């Protein structure tokens, strides 16, 4: 099977407690890695699309991350903004778990 894409190891699954998120920096890009209750792993940009704040400084509740600055929320599975003050969705990245490692497909 072809492994097209640019898969980069960003963390170990064990680094991210279930129900929490951690920041990682890869190639100058700030990413947030989420480990949702139930086990799903997701990755988005970590910088809020509204102004400048790191989403991992905010609060993860279910599949929603709340920005620490103006309480904007995004669905971490799709990046969809959940209303004011968010006007632009968050970029998401494909995630794969392999042998306890979290890999993210990053654009070149
Ligand atoms: S910077 Fe995130 S809601 Fe304003």
What mean pLDDT, rounded, does the chain reach? 96
User: pLDDT grade, residue 83 (50/70/90)?
Assistant: very high
Using the atom order of ligand 1, give the atom closest to the CA of residue 86: 3
pTM of the model: 0.95
Q: Could you say which DSSP state residue 54 is in?
A: B
User: pLDDT grade, residue 4 (50/70/90)?
Assistant: confident
Sign of torsion over alpha carbons 75, 76, 78, 79: positive
Query: At 38, which helix (H) or strand (E)?
Result: none
Q: Is the pLDDT of residue 105 over 90?
A: yes
**Looking up tokens 């699954």, which residue turns up?**
13
Using the atom order of ligand 1, give the atom closest to the CA of residue 85: 3
Q: Is the CB of 68 under 6 A from ligand 1?
A: no
* Cβ–Cβ < 8 Å for 56, 17: no
Domains of the chain by range and CATH?
7-105 (2.102.10.10)
3-state secondary structure of 14: helix
pLDDT at 8: 96
For a pocket test of ligand 1, which of 67, 76, 79 has the largest count of ligand atoms closer than 8 A to its C-beta?
A: 67
pLDDT in tens, 19-31: 999 999 998 999 9
Q: Is the CB of 70 under 6 A from ligand 1?
A: yes
């Amino acid at each position: 099977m072809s492994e097209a894409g640019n898969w980069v190891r960003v963390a170990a699954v064990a680094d991210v407690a279930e129900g929490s998120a951690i920041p990682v920096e890869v190639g100058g890009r700030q990413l947030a890695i989420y480990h949702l209750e139930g086990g799903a792993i997701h990755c988005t940009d970590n910088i809020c699309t509204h102004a400048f704040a790191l989403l991992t400084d905010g609060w993860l509740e279910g599949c929603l991350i709340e920005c620490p600055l103006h309480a904007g929320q995004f669905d971490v599975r799709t990046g969809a903004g959940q209303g004011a003050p968010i006007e632009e969705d968050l970029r998401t990245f494909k995630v794969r778990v392999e042998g306890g490692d979290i890999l993210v497909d990053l654009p070149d």
